[in-house]
Chain A
Amino acid sequence: ETGVTQTPRHLVMGMTNKKSLKCEQHLGHNAMYWYKQSAKKPLELMFVYSLEERVENNSVPSRFSPECPNSSHLFLHLHTLQPEDSALYLCASSQEGRASYGYTFGSGTRLTVV
């Protein structure tokens, strides 16, 4: 049991589809993150939510839309994606104010855009 659960584990979608990725944590953390991990590239921070408010959006295209309805859940809504958006999307959570704790990650959603 990781503490951070991501669904689905795999997703194949066409460029005109709309889908959502889900992340759930029951660790009592107050911050959640979306990362993109592409082959041969460093981890890319996409979105940060702290206390359910979005505090950072690293110039992510608008075809990615995050939603954080409460401190335990985080979604990433996808629409009209491009093939280059194919990647592993990782969710993480942490306790802001406790830098020593580190991040707890989920197992990721492997997204393929066709």
Chain B
Amino acid sequence: AQTVTQSQPEMSVQEAETVTLSCTYDTSESDYYLFWYKQPPSRQMILVIRQEAYKQQNATENRFSVNFQKAAKSFSLKISDSQLGDAAMYFCAYRSTNYGQNFVFGPGTRLSVLP
């Protein structure tokens, strides 16, 4: 079974600075997808960024980018120019490409942004 680990329960960053959230996973599959979700105080989980395992190029979405290291099974999220609205819980998630396989979520990292 796949597992997802986020070793940082809490992190903080100064506004306008850069922060990196860590995620590692374990799988025996070669093809899969990885996601980062953000859950602000409004509670809705919002998709931030996704990465296809067979693509070597790291995904980017505006100020959000990932560092995907397939061999190391590492998938970190970098937030550049942090804003107060980035404060939230961040969940790393794994999804197999096999039909019927559900998401596997990490425990989450709570990010605080300091003004």
Contact = CB atoms under 8 A, between A and B. Distances in A.
Given A2-B44, A102-B33, A108-B44, A96 B107 contact: no
Contact of B100 (A2, A50, A110): A50
B44 A107 contact: yes
Interface stretch (B15-23, B68-76, B78-86, B89-97): B89-97
Contacts of B100: 50, 55, 96
Interface residues of A, number: 24
A43 B43 CA distance: 13
Interface of B: 32-33, 35, 37, 42-47, 50, 52, 91, 93, 95-97, 99-103, 105-108
Interface of A: 2, 33, 42-43, 45, 48, 50, 55-56, 88, 90, 92, 96-97, 99-100, 102-108, 110
